[in-house]
Amino acid sequence: MPSVRRIAHEFLERQGLTTVFGNPGSNELPFLTGLPDGFRYVLGLHEGAVVGMADGYAQATGRPVLVNLHAASGSGNAMGALTNAVASGTPLVIVAGQQVRPAIGPEANLANVDAPALMRPLVGWAAEPACAQDVPRALAQAVFEARLQRRPSYLSVPYDDWAADAGENAPAVLDRWVERAGVPAGEQGHRLAEAVAGARRPALVLGGDIDTAGRFDDAVRLAERLAGPVWAAPSLFRLPFPNRHPLFRGVLPAGIEPIRRAFEGHDLVLVLGAPVFRYHEHLPGRYLPAGTRLIQVTEDASAAARAPMGEALVADPGAVIELLANALDASGVPSADYRPVPAPRSAEGPRLHPEEVFAALRDELPADTAYVVESTSTTSSWWRQMDLRRPGSYYFPAAGGLGFGLPGAVGVAMAQPERPVVGVIGDGSANYGVTALWTAAQHRVPLTVVLLRNGTYGALRWFGGLLGVPDAPGLDIPGLDFTRIAEGYGVPALHADGVDELRAVLAERPDGPRLVQVDTALTTPS
Ligand SMILES: Cc1ncc(C[n+]2csc(CCOP(=O)(O)OP(=O)(O)O)c2C)c(N)n1
Ligand SMILES: [Mg+2]
């Protein structure tokens, strides 16, 4: 009879989970022994970076990814990064080691006494199989739960299980395949199409899920048939629509009152692939203008259930886009000219305005560049300068947890080595995932990190004003030199002194990782 380990490895191979992002401890080693050829272990030096890299990799490949973490301490380190993976619906399959079964109760060192409970608030499914023979089935469940729920899952395995005899039924799991279909039933689709076709002034709100589902171009087709304004959902983590398209009105502000104002005059708001809504700043008011109907289409049943207003249909928003685009006639506006980009603002003194940096990116990088952004005070500058027209062009930490950007950029670049990838990272944000630079260096990942050094937690200064607390301590971060930090991790780096030098550097195509630091002026996010 084959061992639990043999069946597990073979199952992962058949499901295509052969790239493992991890940081091991002694509990994990018995799982990692004898990995078949074709497996690739990507070592991260801290679990936050491990999960961030895996998140970027899974998002860019559109497939579940295996993550290998140490017991309580390692899994605990990963929790912050997991908040982002949960919000972006990333199917991470986390397998963690556990002490041998007889040592868990007495709390031997490295025993995680109630391992599933530690992770449960975040992951969609967590378990520790009741016996070794259930490990292959439970591993399969972890993969399918992550895929079906579009949420990380967590499996804790006592390390003596891996060498155990799998039992005669274990191979049955190897041929399993589980899929989901999310097309609305005829009557549901008909009612939705009627509501949309009958609206006088419909507005469309698109969430990051649209890009995740590969529906970026289809969303343009639908919007042009609807001929109404398009917003991106607040707290955006992926761009679902070309940001200079004439129908695009930008990312909705993440507050109740400004969202109500944006919808004024619309009889129907159709929200596709987003929660309703991920507000951030508490700006109270009525959710919707009087007389505005809101219909949400999402695959996420919980997002539908918890929304505070509106109607919801739990279905694949991509299938709904197709259904609606076919139901509406094609007489809407054809794609008119894209909106031109304004001249970048400049700053006084030697620092660059972030708009000058972003204009340089826009001009010097190819049009299909993927950007992973974690710079929080520069949001409005970003959207003023960028012209993103391709799917998969933009990633941002989905729950606002810093530490995704740098590792996420490494993961996206590993997933798409042919596509230029740029991380746009603030001098505060960089520190939460900085060890990913080492992984990028070891794997020679082609990636440019543009490090915006404004010497402060810029967004928090702005928030301080908003909250009426202008004197909070702990907001400045002087004395950081990321060229030296990057070089310490094995990534070549330079400091660009002005726009010309920055543009010249960006125009070169790197064949490995590099970091370019620029000093930037403080701006506000909006
Ligand atoms: C893990 C985590 N810790 C703290 C915060 C709070 N926070 C939000 S924005 C921010 C500052 C980020 O600074 P930087 O990357 O330099 O960007 P800037 O605002 O200066 O553009 C901080 C600390 C967070 N979002 N996530
Ligand atoms: Mg900063």
The preferred substitution site among 355, 373, 376 for testing ligand 1, maximizing ligand atoms within 8 Å of CB, is 376
pLDDT band at 200 (very low <50, low <70, confident <90, very high): very high
Q: Is residue 180 part of a domain?
A: no
- Ligand 1: distance of its center to the CA of 331 in Å? 45
pLDDT band at 95 (very low <50, low <70, confident <90, very high): very high
Same domain flag for 204 and 294 = yes
Q: What is the DSSP letter of 183?
A: P
Q: Which atom of ligand 1 is found nearest the CA of 522?
A: 20
DSSP states of 55-66 as a string?
A: HHHHHHHTS-EE
pLDDT band at 332 (very low <50, low <70, confident <90, very high): low
Average of pLDDT values for 413-417?
97
Q: Is residue 345 part of a domain?
A: no
Q: Which of 146, 175, 204 is the last residue of a domain?
A: 175
pLDDT at site 329: 74
Same domain flag for 73 and 150 = yes
What six digits make up the tokens of 166?
Answer: 């799998």
- pLDDT at residue 219 greater than cutoff 90: yes
Round the average pLDDT of the chain to a whole number and report it.
96
Same domain flag for 359 and 269 = no
The preferred substitution site among 84, 452, 457 for testing ligand 1, maximizing ligand atoms within 8 Å of CB, is 457
What six digits make up the tokens of 3?
Answer: 């061992």
Q: For 432-473, what is each residue's pLDDT tens digit? A: 999 999 999 999 999 999 999 999 999 999 999 889 998 999
pLDDT band at 349 (very low <50, low <70, confident <90, very high): confident
Q: Which residues of 239-253 are buried (b: 16+ CB within 10 A; e: fewer)?
A: bbbbbebebbbebbb
Same domain flag for 233 and 159 = no
The CATH number given to whatever domain includes residue 299 is 3.40.50.1220
- pLDDT at residue 9 greater than cutoff 80: yes
Q: How many domains does the chain have?
A: 3
For the CA of 429, the nearest ligand: 1
Distances, alpha carbon 312 to alpha carbons 18, 124, 209, 216, 330, in Å = 37, 21, 16, 21, 26
d(CA 49, CA 437): 9
Which residues lie below 8 Å from residue 121, measured CB to CB, with a gap of 6+? Answer: none
- pLDDT at residue 330 greater than cutoff 80: no
Question: Counting runs of H as helices and runs of E as strands, what totals does the chain give?
Answer: 20, 18
Same domain flag for 33 and 154 = yes
d(CA 410, CA 176): 32
pLDDT at site 335: 63
Q: Which atom of ligand 1 is found nearest the CA of 354?
A: 21
Q: Which percentage of the chain shows pLDDT scores above 90?
A: 94
Q: Is residue 334 part of a domain?
A: no
The CATH number given to whatever domain includes residue 400 is 3.40.50.970
Question: Of the ranges 213-222, 327-336, 337-346, 409-418, which one carries the lowest mean pLDDT score?
Answer: 327-336
Distances, alpha carbon 452 to alpha carbons 68, 160, 427, 502, 522, in Å = 32, 47, 6, 12, 10
pLDDT band at 23 (very low <50, low <70, confident <90, very high): very high
Strands, sheet with 92-98, edge to edge from the N-terminal-most edge strand? 40-43, 19-22, 65-69, 92-98, 153-158, 125-127
User: What is the sign, positive or negative, of the torsion defined by CA atoms of 69, 71, 77, 82?
Assistant: positive
Q: For 468-489, what is each residue's pLDDT tens digit? A: 998 999 999 999 999 999 999 9
d(CA 60, CA 416): 7
pLDDT at site 331: 64
User: What is the sign, positive or negative, of the torsion defined by CA atoms of 25, 23, 12, 399?
Assistant: positive
pLDDT at site 466: 86
pLDDT band at 133 (very low <50, low <70, confident <90, very high): very high
The preferred substitution site among 46, 55, 84, 429 for testing ligand 1, maximizing ligand atoms within 8 Å of CB, is 429
Same domain flag for 191 and 157 = no
Catalytic residue numbers read: 25-26, 28, 47, 70, 280, 400
Q: Is residue 341 part of a domain?
A: no
Question: Of the ranges 323-332, 336-345, 497-506, which one carries the lowest mean pLDDT score?
Answer: 323-332
d(CA 125, CA 143): 10
- Ligand 2: distance of its center to the CA of 454 in Å? 5
Q: Which atom of ligand 1 is found nearest the CA of 400?
A: 25
- Ligand 1: distance of its center to the CA of 475 in Å? 9
Residue with tokens 């070089």: 487
Distances, alpha carbon 77 to alpha carbons 50, 182, 184, 279, 496, in Å = 10, 35, 40, 26, 34
Q: Is residue 97 part of a domain?
A: yes
Distances, alpha carbon 30 to alpha carbons 23, 26, 96, 137, 158, in Å = 14, 8, 11, 18, 10
Same domain flag for 319 and 431 = no
Q: Which residues line ligand 1 (CB under 6 A)?
A: 80, 375-378, 400-403, 426-429, 432, 454, 456-460
Q: Which of 139, 154, 175 is the last residue of a domain?
A: 175
Structural domain of residue 224, as residue ranges? Answer: 186-327
pLDDT at site 191: 96
- Ligand 1: distance of its center to the CA of 376 in Å? 6
pLDDT at site 333: 61
Q: Is residue 263 part of a domain?
A: yes
Same domain flag for 362 and 490 = yes
Q: Which atom of ligand 1 is found nearest the CA of 456?
A: 20
Q: Is residue 336 part of a domain?
A: no
Same domain flag for 171 and 190 = no
Same domain flag for 297 and 388 = no
d(CA 153, CA 124): 6
Same domain flag for 124 and 149 = yes
pLDDT at site 334: 60
